[in-house]
Structure 1
């Protein structure tokens, strides 16, 4: 007898020998088993590979060591940064605590916001105005899991990391460029007890092309293998590591997949990314749609920085956010009026169609958006999840823009499309024909009108393209 045709993939071709598959078809069944495990491992490992890829850029392209900082300041600097905002600078680096040992981070007093996270992008500690130093700065001592802190660590704020590999990053909040630069220059990173051993350099991308999105094909698995040569394995992840072991990814062994494994891993990366796209851009999470009659979703569906739900870990919620973005902190999904940020994402127009770079759209922003500090709208390329690399070299509009055109009632109408509006409106964001895009609406210091949903943002709607006479 033949296995019923409704079975998926390779299994549809398996022939039965009585109540067992033919012996010669057993390898086909194992191929399907290993392929399915690899697809699930892809979705599980998205945040880890994302940071591992970005670290490789810092190390191999920018030449940054564990003790340096890379500053992303210009539009071109940020073009490789997944869903970057285009309004505040990013200063960060990736550090392997197995190479540095206990690590000291000296943060100067001043208006900054930042912290440390592990490579699963779980928050380890908050620094700056939102952290325990409340903008007064100080010395932080970061130690790896299982490492005992030095006995004389009293002058340091201790951060016991949940991972061996970490990201330290912050933003300056001082509007004065000279003061902000002085804050960045005053940050120091060095091994514990060796304050004079290394200098902390501030490195610029200098306009070099780079990409921080997850690599494709075998390169994805190479990054995953590489980071696990120094990373601990959490109890929650041991089953996934068992899956990877069948595919040639294991601690202490080189990544040398045979031809069969290479084929399965390449296919699984492609299928996994397709599932990640659906999981991100067509969210099916309960409560993700912010207003029932609008096509705006909560961009961040994770509930907590530890990525844990009630009785389960937020596997698909995590995959959704970390396919389209990097980093998460509690402040990015604020529940306190006037504090932190809130992000809404639009992946379709109001009729449910993907946003098309060759077409024109409008977005009505009613008066008095509930944001204490400011709000912004940013458009991103769907493939890279990065700022749209358009001719204008601008992919956002911000409420603080001096040239933003406002209606008499205080509302604002924004336009998206490949061609500049005939009236030369400054409220336009340029898109690229042949490429899909999505948008974020960010509230900085969200207020009650956001939390109680009494203020309602318009949908992104199709309009007629501009005509010139």
Structure 2
């Protein structure tokens, strides 16, 4: 018999001496497959997230590999996991197995962009932080496993680490007309000169869309689909063995029977519970940015390649990519005045989940350490997307001209279902019956952030 008691469904397994009764073997195998599916869920979160978003571009927006989707309005961004509420996004997802080597041509001007594979690992930098340094030029993207074409010095070459890549960028010019000209100047074309559709700038145009990971069996349908046209990393082969046991194989249809459908559907729900706990109650050492505050350092990844000194960052990766999309070194800046820093609060000062039916305040002391700007944003726990409130506003920050400051330069923000009298400019509306969480972003974080001498207040019940 087992040396110690088992738990869960296996506690009901009857023994025949030191072995389980053969009649109870199906119960054991059901539990084994359930556990494999839960681990496969956590492992595949970043892959399924981008695959879902790619499908929305194709099926909802009608965008091809050669187009760009321009997210401008608050409504445009409602399907984007933990989007910045005010910064436009310009991006697309490209299947290099369909396009072959591809050229992205940037016009000269202040832009910041990058490429990442579908594990959301950065594999190329474009624009001011990249090799063109804002001068524009032709960026050649080479699919994995293909020889790099012989090109002259007019090309910047990026070797993709996945067959599917996300290309995204932001314009940094504050003038709207010049900024739009930069967006309109992007060209995406096949390297071999084949005729391709003209690069279009596609707008979500008010269409409802959903970029978070699907639930139920749809999660595994999306995973099976992207697995068919994505390469396999050597480090993932054990997980692919799990997928095989779950009916997901390369080159074969996904046709789960009644038993496997039941197991996969339940495992998606269990896996998401694990993902929620892993993200919203982080167990990683040093996750709390200040020991006496409830603010987490949300990005626990050490590097864009998601590799620690002695292990690959499985749970760190799952925590970030359940609640967010994309990661670059600049998003966890260690250099004062450069990049960004993100803190997250999932509970109030007493450690209770943030309730959309309650009222809260957040005290932001004077002189927040952000060279460019700071913002506090509210997200819906269920979708991890911007709160879809009647106000159609999810954040308040230093760029809001109507933000009311206290006499000492500090700011009090308010969260709740109804506006505080006379303080509407500093208020974000929450939704009764739904929980929420907040990100506090520093753009160009300064030394008082890094040395922790400046300290943000907790979100406190009013």
1:198-226 CA-to-partner distances (Å, cap 9, x unmatched) read: 31001000011111000001000011000
Is this contact kept in 2: 1:374–1:444, CA < 8 A? yes
The answer to whether the 8 Å contact 1:405/1:425 transfers is no
Larger deviation: 171-180 or 376-385?
Answer: 171-180
* TM-score for both structures, normalised by structure 2: 0.98
Find the aligned partners of 1:8 and 1:106 in 2 and give their Cα distance. Answer: 58
Report what 2:71 is aligned to: 72
C-alpha separation between the residues in 2 aligned to 1:107 and 1:329? Answer: 20
Aligned to 1:262: 261
Corresponding position of 2:385 = 386
- Mapped partners of 1:375, 1:44: distance in 2: 32
Partner residue in 2 for 1:443? 442
Superposition deviation, residue 424 in structure 1: 4.1
Partner of 1:278: 277
Q: Which residue of 2 aligns with 1:201?
A: 200
Conserved 8 A contact 1:113-1:128: yes
Please list, as runs of the form range in 1=range in 2, the aligned pairs for 1:343-382 lying within 5 A after superposition.
Answer: 343-382=342-381
- Structure 2 SS opposite 1:228: helix
- Whether the 8 Å CA contact 1:5–1:12 is kept in 2: the answer is no
The 2-side partners of 1:127 and 1:274 are apart by 37
1:420 corresponds to which residue? 419
Structural RMSD (CA)? 1.2
- The 8 Å contact of residues 370 and 446 in structure 1, kept in 2 or not, is answered as yes
Per-residue deviation, residues 368-412 of structure 1 (Å, max 9, x unmatched): 000000000100000000111111100001201110000111000
Does 1:334 pair with 2:333?
yes
Unaligned runs of 5+ in 2: none
Q: Is the 8 A contact 2:361 2:460 kept in 1?
A: yes
- Corresponding position of 2:90: 91
* Aligned equivalents of 1:289, 1:397: Cα separation in 2: 23
How far apart, in 1, do the equivalents of 2:24 and 2:100 lie?
A: 51
Q: CA deviation at 1:190?
A: 1.1
Supply the distance in 1 between the matched residues of 2:310 and 2:127 (Cα, whole angstroms): 33
SS in structure 1 at match of 2:138: strand
Secondary structure at the counterpart of residue 168 of structure 2? strand
Question: 1:38-89: CA deviations, max 9, x gaps?
Answer: 0000000000000000001000111011100001000000000000001210
1:136 CA displacement:
1.3
C-alpha distance in 2 between matches for 1:406 and 1:188:
44
In structure 1, the residue corresponding to 2:286 is in which secondary structure? coil
C-alpha distance after superposition, 1:325-359 (max 9, x if no partner): 00000001111111110000001011100000000
TM superposition shift of 1:156: 1.2
TM-score normalised according to structure 1 size = 0.97
Partner of 2:141: 142
Q: Does 1:117 align with 2:116?
A: yes
Q: Is the 8 A contact 2:94 2:165 kept in 1?
A: yes
**Cα offset for 1:8?**
2.6
Structure 1's consecutive aligned runs of 4 or more residues displaced over 2 angstroms after TM superposition are 3-6, 152-155, 195-198
Contact 2:74 2:86 in 1 (8 A): no
